[in-house]
Amino acid sequence: MDEVIPTMNVASILYYPFNENIRHVNNLKKSLAQILPQFYPSAGRYSKENQLVDCSDQGAEFVEAQVDCKLVDIIGLEELNDLLPVEVGAADEVTDPIMSIQINKFKCGGIAIATSISHRISDGASLNTFLSAWAKASRGDQTEPIIPTFDSPLYFPGQNLGTPDYGITRSRNTTLVTKRILFDSKAIGTLRDRVSHLYENSHRPASRVLLVTSFLTEALLRSDRAKLGKPRGCLVIQLVNIRERTVPPLSKYSCGNLITTATVECSADETKSMDFEHYVPLLGNTVKKTVSDCVNILGKDGHEILFENRARVAAKGGDSSIKSITFSDFSKFGFYEVDFGFGKPIWTTIANIPIENFIMLLNTKENDGIEAWVQLHEEDMHYIELDKEIKKLTT
């Protein structure tokens, strides 16, 4: 999976208000140096020709930046990429650090810690493992050590597949825009009530992620019909974390791109007649089956489960007769628990990701809602911003 992942960085930004316990930035640098040997690929450089990381201790990049505003002024999504140490698409060249950190210091005394790690060796779960270990070292917590592992090549040896062209550039793509749609606890409750009859015999109601992915799938296809004047088929892709779901279970601290895909395909006739109440069980059952299939990934069927489905999905990527939508769930990774010794973050975000029709799902600080970061072409975003159902639910 590392070989076929997009050429980009996985990024997160954690925001901390001024606090008397905020330590000098040198402590963050010192603790980073302390744990970096455990995450040794992050201090190396990637070789595209050989599709491997040269772990020769070239180092991680550490940047300090003065921001000429207060923390509360960071409200525009177009500004967030300025807080990153590198552009999202600046990856995979021999001169690119695999890990870059930027400590943004605001006028009010608050800070934002931005982390970028090459997607070649890291997914969202790997990023959270690193941040959790760094935070523990920073606050001097020696209990329950976090020990990362880099053993995925033992289970999934490289095959020199080459990296597909996802159209991601090293500079910002201004034709792609990001919209943050907040589904608070009230919105989640409204959606859950609409499908409560489907879960009358279940001890667990529909999850927040399932509700939001189903609602946004319907909304994006509705907007697509409004734009084109006719329905299209759809391909809905949901990325699924395989850690702790395989047999034997891979550690939750296993680093790499340990993901598989749950996919749903619908024809134009189906998307025309389907609504939210149809997508909830359809997407939910697909994810359940994908999770149950994870028990076989380390066996003889693993290659088929991981790669053949992905290859089939990739082959449909250029089909203009379908609308392809990809969801990635970051809501369970615990970014709001990352405490460097000066409290937990008041907000956590990603930045603008240069992938069209890509939706990242983040948790809310209260742990009762979902922030959906929707990346669309600017023309498509126009229709989403006019969508009455989205306005009614999220305003």
Tell me the pLDDT tens digit for each residue of 200-221: 888 889 999 999 999 999 999 9
Weakest mean pLDDT among 43-52, 131-140, 298-307, 346-355: 298-307
Distance in angstroms (rounded) separating the CA atoms of residues 346 and 32: 22
Q: Which of 39-53, 314-328, 338-352, 359-373 has the lowest mean pLDDT?
A: 314-328
For all residues of the chain together, what is the average pLDDT? 92
8-state DSSP, 254: B
**Average pLDDT value for residue range 315-327:** 85
pTM: predicted TM-score of the whole model, two decimal places: 0.95
| Tokens encoding 351 | 């930045």
Q: Where are the domains of the chain?
A: 9-155, 176-331+354-394
Q: Which residue has the tokens 């639910």?
A: 393
The C-alpha atoms of residue 243 and residue 251 are separated, in whole angstroms, by: 6
Question: If you write DSSP's letter for every residue of 73-90 in order, what string do you get?
Answer: G---GGGGGGGSSS-TT-
Beta strand 52-54 pairing with 45-47: antiparallel
> Is residue 92 within 8 Å of 162, Cβ to Cβ?
no
The amino acid sitting at 166 is Y
- Report the b/e string of 296-334 with b at 16+ CB within 10 A: ebbeeebeebbbebbeebeeeeeeeebbbbbbbbbbebe
Neighbouring residues of 133: CB distance < 8 A, sequence distance ≥ 6: 35, 38, 39, 146, 148
Q: What's the number of CA atoms in the CB half-sphere (13 Å) around residue 15?
A: 18
The model's pLDDT over 356-390, given as tens digits with 9 standing for 90+, comes to: 999 999 999 999 999 999 999 999 999 999 999 99
Dihedral (CA of 29, 31, 34, 35) sign: negative
Q: Which CATH architecture has domain 176-331+354-394?
A: 2-Layer Sandwich (3.30)
CA distances from 267 to 211, 264, 308, 322 (A): 22, 10, 21, 8
Catalytic residues: 119, 339
pLDDT category, 75, cuts 50, 70, 90?
A: low
Confidence (pLDDT) at 383: 95
Helices (H) and strands (E) in the chain, counts: 11, 13
Q: Is the peptide bond before 248 cis (omega within 30 degrees of 0)?
A: yes
Contact at 8 Å (CB) between 191 and 211? Answer: yes
Does the pLDDT of residue 12 top 70, yes or no? yes
Is 355 in contact with 373 (CB distance < 8 Å)? Answer: no
Of the chain, the percentage scoring pLDDT greater than 70 comes to 98
Read off the pLDDT of each residue in 186-190 and give the average, rounded to a whole number.
97
Q: In what order do the strands lie in the sheet with 370-377?
A: 176-183, 370-377, 358-363, 322-329, 233-241, 259-266
Average pLDDT over residues 263-268: 94
Asked if pLDDT for residue 310 goes beyond 80, the answer is no
Mean pLDDT of 50-62: 93
| Mean local confidence (pLDDT), 303-309 | 76
Provide mean pLDDT across the span 273-301: 93
pLDDT band at 319 (very low <50, low <70, confident <90, very high): confident
Q: Regarding beta strands 370-377 and 9-16, do their DSSP bridges make them parallel or antiparallel, or are they unpaired?
A: unpaired
Whether residue 40 contacts residue 255, with contact meaning beta carbons closer than 8 Å, is answered with: no
268 - beta bridge partners? none
What's the pLDDT at 163?
80
- In percent, the amount of the chain with pLDDT more than 90 equals 76
pLDDT higher than threshold 90 for residue 58: yes
Strands 259-266 and 233-241: antiparallel
CB 377 within 8 A of CB 364: no
Q: Check for a shared fold between 9-155 and 176-331+354-394.
A: yes
Report the distance separating Cα 131 and Cα 12, nearest Å: 10
Structurally, at CATH architecture level, domain 9-155 sits in 2-Layer Sandwich (3.30)
Per mean pLDDT, which range of 111-115, 152-156, 317-321, 349-353 is the poorest? 317-321
